[in-house]
Amino acid sequence: MADKETKTVDFKKLKKTVEVGVRMQDNVINATPYFLEENKKQALGERRVGLGVMGLHDLLIYCETEYGSPEGNRLVDQVFETIATTAYRTSIDLATEKGSFPFLNGETREDTNRLRQAFIETGFMKKMPEDVRQSILENGIRNSHLLTVAPTGSTGTMVGVSTGLEPYFSFSYFRSGRLGKFIEVKADIVQEYLDQHPEADADNLPNWFVSSMELAPEAHADVQCVIQRWIDSSISKTVNAPKGYSVEQVEKVYERLYRGGAKGGTVYVDGSRDSQVLTLKAEENTNEQLSMFEDKPKQHVVLVDTITDLRSTDVTIGSEVGNTCPVCRKGKVEEMGGCNTCTNCGAQLKCGL
């Protein structure tokens, strides 16, 4: 959605994509095989969909705008307002073609009007433009919910963009291979920038190449709240905090999220778990990071590749209950608190939520 020549967002393309996306997802509801009658009744009754994004940080970088800055938040607000209003207008158009979601229809016209009035009086709908709210009163709406932001960890990584609405954790990291050597890998968007700007210093990139751990936790929270204003469901976002962050500081971040209108939030303090996939340096990280916002060279991230040759064994490596942990290769995977967790290293491998 970025116009790389003008360094702006192609809002026309964005609107068209949202329109197609909403119609496609609405069709999926009918195409889905439902194995339980209760599920079918609920899905067809509310026709809930969840259009989301990935590559948000890439978009900001192409627009030469810093993630988490006031300017960045204004652009993010404009992008998500466009997504939300376009999605709702498309769903209203679909309602005129195919009818509203059944749970919005009463037995009488009076009942239907009452349900529609209650729908537009919800907290989220009060923020919508008046023409959208009035159109729902007149024509109904096809879907009860339209928007969310999923993590897109697998798909985002597969196509080489930032995942979900998250900033890049790092633009340069080291990957340990089977021979134990650390190989430096740069994010695609950084390599693209360096190819286009041979004079650029890879260790001193422009400010819009800010990474997750270089952002203050408050900046993370504020971006989430800006986006939540235009998302009718929940969103996936991690507020990264530096090592040494206190319980009281974490509490203040959650309060900031609550006051900002977030439906939920996750605060992760670096080093708070015995085992974590991403760390800031190739060697073991023992330094306190509370001074991380001072000017200093950007650090690298280590993504440990734990794949080994297991063809000679009958051990099942995986994230399912009963498997051997793919991280430490020692513990068994058990369900703990809703997450498939390794009994040895504590790695959370799969979340049932």
Q: Is the pTM of this model over 0.85?
A: no
Q: Is residue 18 part of a domain?
A: yes
E-strand stretches of the chain: 2-3, 8-9, 172-176, 182-186, 238-241, 266-269, 278-279, 301-304, 333-336, 339-342, 348-351
State pLDDT tens for residues 126-159.
999 999 999 999 999 999 999 999 999 888 888 8
Q: Is residue 187 part of a domain?
A: no
pLDDT of amino acid 313: 47
Tell me which residues of the chain have a pLDDT lower than 50: 282-289, 292-294, 296-313, 353
pLDDT of amino acid 346: 79
Domain boundary among 139, 165, 183: 139
Q: Is residue 23 part of a domain?
A: yes
pLDDT of amino acid 10: 98
Q: Is residue 22 part of a domain?
A: yes
State pLDDT tens for residues 243-277.
999 999 999 999 999 999 999 999 999 888 765 55
pLDDT of amino acid 310: 37
- Tell me what percent of the residues of the chain surpass a pLDDT of 70: 83
Q: How many domains would you assign to the chain?
A: 2
Q: Is residue 190 part of a domain?
A: no
- Give the CA distances from residue 203 to residues 61, 111, 213, 222, 271, in Å, rounded to whole numbers and listed in that order: 16, 63, 16, 27, 25
Domain boundary among 106, 124, 139: 139
Q: Give the domain range for residue 28.
A: 2-139
Spatial contact of 25 and 16, defined as CB atoms under 8 Å apart: no
The full 3-state SS of 91-103, as one line of letters, equals: HHHHHHHHCCCHH
pLDDT of amino acid 317: 79
pLDDT of amino acid 181: 56
The full 3-state SS of 161-226, as one line of letters, equals: CCCCCCCCCCCEEEEECCCCCEEEEECHHHHHHHHHCCCCCCCCCCCCCCCHHHCCHHHHHHHHHH
pLDDT of amino acid 26: 98
pLDDT of amino acid 175: 53
Domain boundary among 114, 139, 164: 139
Q: Is residue 299 part of a domain?
A: no
Q: Is residue 293 part of a domain?
A: no
pLDDT of amino acid 185: 59
Query: In the beta sheet, which residues pair with residue 180?
Result: none
Pinpoint the alpha helices (H) of 229-347.
247-259
Q: Is residue 191 part of a domain?
A: no
